[in-house]
Amino acid sequence: MGDDYRFIGKATQRRDAVEIVTGTALYLDDLRFQNLLHGKVLRSPHAHALIKKIDKSKAEALPGVKAVLTWQDIPDWKGGTPRKLRVLDKKVRYVGDAVALVAASTEEIAREALDLIEVEYQVLPAVLDMDSALKHGAPLIYDEFPGNIIPGGTIAFGPNCLKGVVMGDVEKGFAEADVIAEGTFGYENIPNALPPEPVGAVAMWEEPNKVTLWSTSQAPYMDKGTLFHVFNRQVEIRCIGNHVGGSFGTKIMCWQVQAYAVLLSRATGKPVKVMFTKEEHMAAFTLRIGSRIHARVGMKKDGTLTAIHGTWYVDSGYYSFTTQAQVAVGSGELMIMAQCPNWDLKNIIVATNRNASGSTRGFGGQELKCSFIPILSLAMEKAALDPFEVLKKNYVKPGGGYFWRDGNWYQYRGIDYSAAMDKGAEQFGWKEKWKGWLTPTAVNGTKRLGIGVGVHGNADVGEDSAEAYVQLDCNGTATIFLCAAEHGTGQKSNYAKLVAEVLQIPLDRISMTPADSLITPFEFGPVGSRGTYAIGSAVINAAEDVKRRLFEFVAPKLGAEPQDLETVDGVVFVKGYPEKSLKWRALGYDRTLLGHGRFEPDFTVCNCMMSFVEVEVDTETGKVTLLRVVLATDVGQIIDPQGLEGQLNGALGSAGIDSAIFEETILNHSTGHILNANLMDYKWRTFTELPAMEHVVLETPMPTHRFHAVGVGEVATSPGPSAVLMAVSNAVGSWLHEYPVTPDRVLRAIGKVGYSARGGKK
């Protein structure tokens, strides 16, 4: 379809490519400030304790130390959902929790000062997993949350925020079923998406209550709104975006490190930089939510779902900020994948003494589906059904519907993704390879091959409002005003393409302002694959608005009506009469035109990704090797082919497919310490171990914006883990119930070693 356009669908150089490869792109660590101080955080060695006494006198006396702050020295600033967690508190709730903040003239002095702070703790019993947290009489992490159960719902999604799915009559549905399957599966390995750049912030406080903030966040305007409430609505906040060294969804919520920098700048009157080390990034920043579901599924012999009943247990860690939102979105995403008339799906959000959970791409749906699809597979096994056909059959079709995060019902008006699924299955060779449940595709000595399939979709492609301005100058150039930080995906280059296509001017005539909440209009942030539809719509609308204003200004000069005009390469002309034209400089050097674009939320369209995987399992060693991945999707219209390929190739790591094989945060369940918070012990795939990656991408026009596209970047990862679990189970002939499928778990599943596990067991 790209042949119909001048820029869209064409391979073009990213606008920041030269800066990145030459090292001139400015990330947070590259910014320079006069009189900059360095902030460090003293962290708790205990998973749960009260701070009885802090002596900071020695640290304050160290030359070069400018401030030492404890919970007693700061305002009553709180975050979380509900807003109960103090930025610094007299109670610590996980190993790594903040105890004190130090600002000094150098990082070395700040680190030395941390060692001089003397803390007396009263160690409390800790609950380090959901089972112990939910036991009767378990130690409470918060007095406000009896039973360590965190309330559901978030006001950000409205008063009817989706807290589960209840509809129809599940008993009637089970009575109509030909097969019923029941089980418990978990996706509890809390992988770390771990973008290359750690989280950090620089704050500059100005009296009386103003602060300017630079940070590693992908969503500067969202930071402004979040911190406004954390700071009790008493601080005027300006957030400036810069290059972000990767996010994978994790850097939309960096409020704590930002608050540390703000508090230290407020105390010293100087700009203060707080940058996590890589160890802190792994051991003290947010992780993926832990997920476990016990459910029953009713199904007819033809694969039609008749009833879903279950409880989804969600480990939020020591506090919640986005967990309720993830539960709401995840519940809706399950409905997109599993169209069923009868539901009773409830959830329990549990607080535990480990790192907090936060936003990670997949945002609830990946965690829920990775737990649910294996239970659905038990039903498909009972009915002897092909999983590809069942997943295709039950994915939402035009006219179907779902509850979404705000609790409202939406009728789906998008396309039927069956064609993309069929094409993916054909390229993978699914029909030829599929031999039946718990049956390997091939056996060669101790090595067995298995295949699996998963599917995922998200209606948050149209989430939240977006605004943009486009300004025209008489020299034939355009400027985009948009509060979106470049976080590695190249989306900002795509917005330039959209504007270039509307205005028909070369890409090198389009510039973009830095993300700055003082200058650029509201923008929620590039998350949830919303960049293409939601943000893209705002940019397109702004370009069309300024184009209309241009034609209204020029029309009288050409003796024509605005609707009779067109523009190409900075020249406006009358359609059919190209000789009747004026260059944009007819605006005059003393005039600019500004167009405004806005997008309102739309949850009636979703994207889709289906993953086909083939694995090899060595039954002697338990090693799982991912041999091949085929991703199938339909994007409506490819905006940037190279960027799309990069997003799809990114399905492997960073809490994606490989969270089913080896990406795992290992928590010591005796002490609460993370045992592999380093880049040696946290297992990653190397470039020499990459599997064959193939992509099937169809372009069926979507009912979205002018260019009929929809984003798929976030969902590339999400179907993969459940597909791998299915493939490994098929290869070894026995169900595995938890992630990742490490050698010890494989050997336990086939009876070569004894089996014991924490959660996620059948």
Beta partners for residue 738, in sequence order: 186
Beta partners for residue 444, in sequence order: 447
Instruction: Check if the beta carbon of residue 361 is closer than 8 Å to that of residue 134.
Output: no
* pLDDT, mean of residues 565-570: 97
CA-nearest of 540, 534, 495, 530 to 515 is: 495
Calculate the CA 327 to chain-centre distance. Answer: 13
CATH topology of domain 464-599: Aldehyde Oxidoreductase; domain 4 (3.30.365)
Separation of alpha carbons 367 and 399, rounded Å? 27
pLDDT value for 758: 46
Beta-carbon count within 10 A of 34 CB: 6
pLDDT value for 309: 98
Separation of alpha carbons 738 and 759, rounded Å? 8
Say if residue 644's pLDDT is above 50.
Answer: yes
Q: What percent of the chain has pLDDT over 70?
A: 98
Residues 478-497 pLDDT 10s:
999 999 998 888 899 999 99
What is the rounded average pLDDT for all residues in the chain?
A: 95
Q: Which tokens is 595 given?
A: 């167009």
* Strand order from edge to edge, sheet including 692-698: 442-444, 447-456, 609-618, 624-634, 692-698
Beta partners for residue 630, in sequence order: 612, 694
Q: Which residues of the chain are in CATH 3.90.1170.50 domains? A: 36-124+199-275
Separation of alpha carbons 199 and 751, rounded Å? 43
CATH architecture of 36-124+199-275: Alpha-Beta Complex (3.90)
Say if residue 366's pLDDT is above 70.
Answer: yes
Q: Which residues contact 221 (CB under 8 A, 6 or more apart)?
A: 239, 483, 515, 517, 520, 522, 523, 524, 525
Cα angle: 185, vertex 191, 192; to 5 degrees: 160
Annotate 435-481 with DSSP letters as a single string. --TT--SEEETTEEEEEEEEEE--GGGG-S-EEEEEEE-TTS-EEEE
pLDDT value for 253: 85
Q: Which tokens is 177 given?
A: 């079923």
Instruction: Check if the beta carbon of residue 696 is closer than 8 Å to that of residue 424.
Output: yes
Separation of alpha carbons 457 and 404, rounded Å? 12
pLDDT range class, residue 638, cuts 50, 70, 90? very high
Residues 595-616 pLDDT 10s:
999 999 999 999 999 999 999 9
pLDDT value for 131: 97
CATH number of 290-461+604-749: 3.30.365.10
* pLDDT, mean of residues 281-287: 95
* pLDDT, mean of residues 457-470: 97
- What Rg do the C-alpha atoms of the chain give, in angstroms? 27
Q: Which tokens is 618 given?
A: 């060595």
Calculate the CA 195 to chain-centre distance. Answer: 12
* Secondary structure of residue 620 in the 3-state scheme: coil
Say if residue 535's pLDDT is above 50.
Answer: yes
pLDDT range class, residue 759, cuts 50, 70, 90? very low
Separation of alpha carbons 586 and 597, rounded Å? 24
Residue 693: HSE in the Cβ half-sphere, 13 Å Cα cutoff: 17
pLDDT range class, residue 2, cuts 50, 70, 90? low
Say if residue 572's pLDDT is above 70.
Answer: yes
Q: Which tokens is 490 given?
A: 């190249």
pLDDT range class, residue 752, cuts 50, 70, 90? confident
Sign of the C-alpha dihedral, residues 437, 442, 447, 449?
Answer: negative
Residues 699-727 pLDDT 10s:
999 999 999 999 998 899 999 999 999 99
Say if residue 653's pLDDT is above 90.
Answer: no
Q: Which residues of the chain are in CATH 3.30.365.10 domains? A: 290-461+604-749, 464-599
pLDDT value for 658: 95
pTM, to two decimals: 0.96
Say if residue 193's pLDDT is above 60.
Answer: yes
pLDDT value for 762: 38
Say if residue 760's pLDDT is above 60.
Answer: no
pLDDT value for 686: 87
Instruction: Check if the beta carbon of residue 97 is closer than 8 Å to that of residue 50.
Output: no
Name the residue type at position 184: T
Separation of alpha carbons 547 and 474, rounded Å? 13
- Dihedral angle over CA of 667, 295, 321, 404, nearest 10: 150
Where are the strands (E) in 127-167, listed by range? 149-150, 165-167
Say if residue 215's pLDDT is above 90.
Answer: yes
Sign of the C-alpha dihedral, residues 335, 632, 325, 529?
Answer: negative
Q: What percent of the chain has pLDDT over 90?
A: 92
